[in-house]
Amino acid sequence: MTGSGKPPENPTVTITYCTGCNWLLRAGWMAQELLQTFQGTLGGVTLVPGDTGGIFEIHVDKELVWDRKRDGGFPDAKELKTRVRDRIDPDRDLGHLDRPAP
């Protein structure tokens, strides 16, 4: 409970994508991956159509966790889930994603 007597809200993820680049499907797939992995932990995932110019940013609450231009492209599912997990629940085990590749 917070000081206001209300339970704390679960974190939310916002994915802003470039409409001119047609990245809606990519954003939707990433949203689905996060919602499946973090069931009961996330308050939601919002897709935000962005201006053209190649924007693809992922925020957890207001913290930028991925920027296509800064981070060099798009995250794979493992990298995205790891960054979100590290922000919302660092002790959470992501199962096979946390195991080193053979």
Domain map (residue ranges) of the chain: 9-44
- Nearest Cα to 75, choosing from 87, 85, 86, 67? 67
The 10s digit of each residue's pLDDT in 14-40 is 999 999 999 999 999 999 999 999 999
Query: Which tens digits make up the pLDDT trace of 54-101?
Result: 999 999 999 999 999 999 999 999 999 999 999 999 888 887 666 665
Residue 20 has a pLDDT of 95
User: Alpha helices of 22-76 — where are they, by DSSP H?
Assistant: 24-37, 68-71
Secondary structure of residue 49 in the 3-state scheme: strand
